[in-house]
Every structure is written in C-alpha cells, then in structure tokens.
Structure 1
Amino acid sequence: MHLSLTSAIQKWQMEFSKNGRVMCWTVMERSTWQLLKAEGKLTCPIGDACDDPIFQDAYAWMKNSMASAGIVAPTHGLSPWWCWITRGQNHPEPFIEDVEGLRDPVVLQLAVPSEQVVLSCFDLWHFVLNKWYVWSSELDEQDFDRAKENAGEGSDAAVQLQQRMQHSWSAVFELDQTVVDMGPFETKSIQGCFWTLRLEYVTAVIEPIALTSYP
C-alpha cells in the first residue's frame, strides 16, 4: 500500500535526519555564494532559477506537493533550492559533470533542518518532467496506455487520465519503491528541495577541482 504524500515525505525526512538535519549538497555560482555570505539567507526568485520553461508544469507540481505536505514557500514567485542528498552509491556529493554550464561554480555542503527539505527520486523525477505515467505493474501500464488511446482530447476521460498520471507521480517521494525498475535503494540518486538557504546551514565549501567524474 502506498503511503500518503505527507507520510512518504516525512518518512524520508526522518530516515536521513542526523540530529534534526539532512546533509546535502547544492551547486551555485560563486557570486551567489558571496551574496549568501553578505545577506545571511537567500530565497530563489523564479526569474533567477534555471528551471526550463518547457518543464514549468513539473516545477509547479513539485511546489504544490511541498505545500500539500506543509512545506510552504515564504512568499509568492519563488523557486525552491535544489540539492543532492545522494548522487550515487557511496557517493553523496555531486560529480564534476553536475557543475557544467556554470561560469564560476562552487558546491556548498549543507545541513538543512530535516522538516524543511523534501526528498525525491532523481530518476523518477524525469517521469514528471516528461509527463509520463509511473506504472505500478506491467498490467497497470498496459491499462493506462489503452485508456489513453481511447480517450478523446479534452474529454472527461482525458481529464481523468491526466489526474491519474499526476497521482502516479507521488511515487517520486517513495524512495524505497521498486516501480519502473529504478534499481535498488542503495544506488539511487536522491535530490531534495527546500525554500530558504541560510548561511548557518553551510558546513563546507567544495571547489569543482575536488569533485570526481561520473563513472
């Protein structure tokens, strides 16, 4: 039986919590790090985020999911901060490839209060980005595909399928689930989202030269 969205989120907040904090890593421009040191805390306005407009529905879904679990943005017009909880098996911090595209990147190691960060499966997140259905079995996948073929565009059936698909996305928060063959828990890449980055969360600053390459 699937956990409720809130229960799934809270389960993994507690699972990864050490002394009430979740260890994570976030990549940013050095200028943003300098601004954090000057300001003491930062939120991320949507206009400053690197969220691809093509995926705006996916990011809106994530923000709504966070709000449904009681993790509400401090003000309107914000994008959450994204971070890595685990990047790969026995490799929690980012790889050198994760800083590509930034002009002068730096990686911050953080200890964020566990109740503020929402953990999700990085690979299953691509189902949300691409608007794919997260099936629970082969028969479930086949049933959804048949229903999709028979549903007329804009029909009540199509609306119900859209709702069914979005409901399936809650699997991204169930990190120990085994749907769509995402592999064992130990090998999963786990990401996190939180709203406010505070200087006090920073436990280390990692230069890109110290990062290893993706295997």
Structure 2
Amino acid sequence: MILWTIQTEEAWEQLNKKGCITGVMDYIEPSWLSSYHWMMQQMKDRIGSPPCKHLFPVWAWYQWDSSNRKKPDLRSAGHLPKNVKGVRIEFSCDKNAGLLSDFTLWHYVLNYWYLPESMADDEKFDAEIKKQGTTYFEAKPHPTPKIHQKIVRSWNKIFDLDWDKTDISVPKYQKSIQATIWQLRMEQVRSCKHFKAR
C-alpha cells in the first residue's frame, strides 16, 4: 500500500543518513502518552512486535481527507507548527506492516471517551456513569474496572474502517485514515516533497 508521512527536515536528514527513522517520545503530548501506549499494544497484537524494544510509532496517512484526497495537501495548515520546514514522504508499505485506523475516531482514544455503538448506547452509558457520580473523561483511568474495560474495548471500532454510524462515524470513502508503522526505511521511499508549514 502507498502511504504518506509528514516529517521535519531534520527527520528527512536522519532518514538519509541512517537509512531508517522511528517515532520519538519527545514529540508526544504528555497527556496522550497512555493513548500512544494503547496504540503500540494494538500494533503488537495486530501487525507484530517492533524490530527492537521501546519503539514509538511513525504516523502516516493512508487517506488524508477522503478517498478522493488521499495524499496530504501541503497548502493546508496543521501539518507542522507554522513556518517549520518539513517534508511529505510518499512510501510503500506491506499491508501487514502498517496498522490502519480511523483518524477522527482516534480522538476517542486520545481523550479517553467511550466510543458508543449508537447514540442510544451513548446516552445509556452516560446515564450509567452519572448514577456513580463520576465522569469517564475526568478520571483516567476510570476507578471502576468494569467501566474502564468497557471504555477501552469500545476503541477497537477505530480499526473497522467499514464501520459507520449516523452522528458518530462516516462511510469509509469519506474517512481520514491514518497508519502507524514501527519504522520507515529509506528503501521504502518513493518520493519526497519539501514545504514550509502554514
């Protein structure tokens, strides 16, 4: 499959020099670290263990905006901090070496939200939480193991790219689909486009 990753020019230089780049913990928002660890465990379970211990994922796009706009548009803001020089790297990846997930639904994981089956399921879960006098996104992890497990299990839906529910998820052709890989090797690179972030 063809993927695109947005990286800094420094990462591009490292890829050229060392022949490989991996994810770096230093760039992760501290409040998201547990979400990244969850994704890393999913990667181990679904595509296999990293080539060496303590690797963080390299993030890429399979489908940036929709099936009609798969490649990230460098005219858009938000790829990197404003005015930072970066690169959009197009590369090939074996289907078994990359884990695809719904980018919008990934925010349920980042924010420790319950990902409901339906709006009715969402209301039922909220009512269950209110009975306990707690909120599931303020206590991380939730102090009740049963509720914590229910929240975490709900996140598995981010990997079902055919799953769409009104008011929760959209059809696959409309999704932004991200990919996580353990490492990017120079021999995978097909092209590179330099840009300055807007």
- Normalised TM-score (structure 2): 0.86
Percent of pairs identical after alignment?
Answer: 27
Deviates more, 1:189-198 or 1:199-208: 199-208
Q: How many residues align?
A: 187
Structure 2 letter corresponding to 1:194: I
- Structure 1: distance between partners of 2:113 and 2:55: 25
| Cross-structure match for 1:56 | 33
Query: In the TM superposition, what is the alpha-carbon distance from 1:93 to its structure 2 partner?
Result: 1.3
Equivalences for residues 50-199 of structure 1 within 5 A: 50-89=27-66, 90-96=68-74, 97-101=77-81, 103-151=84-132, 158-179=144-165, 180-199=167-186
Structure 2 letter corresponding to 1:110: F
Query: In the TM superposition, what is the alpha-carbon distance from 1:73 to its structure 2 partner?
Result: 2.0
- Structure 2: distance between partners of 1:43 and 1:157: 34
- Structure 2: distance between partners of 1:64 and 1:57: 11
Structure 2 letter corresponding to 1:91: R
The ranges of structure 1 where at least 4 consecutive aligned residues each deviate by more than 6 angstroms after the TM superposition are none
Query: In the TM superposition, what is the alpha-carbon distance from 1:70 to its structure 2 partner?
Result: 4.1
- Structure 2: distance between partners of 1:42 and 1:130: 27
Query: In the TM superposition, what is the alpha-carbon distance from 1:122 to its structure 2 partner?
Result: 0.4
Unaligned runs of 5+ in 1: 1-21
Structure 1 letter corresponding to 2:4: W
Asked if the contact 1:122–1:189 (Cα under 8 Å) also holds between the matched residues in 2, the reply is yes
SS at match of 2:144: helix
- Structure 1: distance between partners of 2:143 and 2:117: 20
The alignment yields a C-alpha RMSD, in angstroms, of 2.3
| Cross-structure match for 1:10 | none
Structure 1 letter corresponding to 2:181: F
Query: In the TM superposition, what is the alpha-carbon distance from 1:181 to its structure 2 partner?
Result: 3.0
Asked if the contact 2:47–2:97 (Cα under 8 Å) also holds between the matched residues in 1, the reply is no
| Larger helix share, 1 or 2 | 1
| Cross-structure match for 1:30 | 9
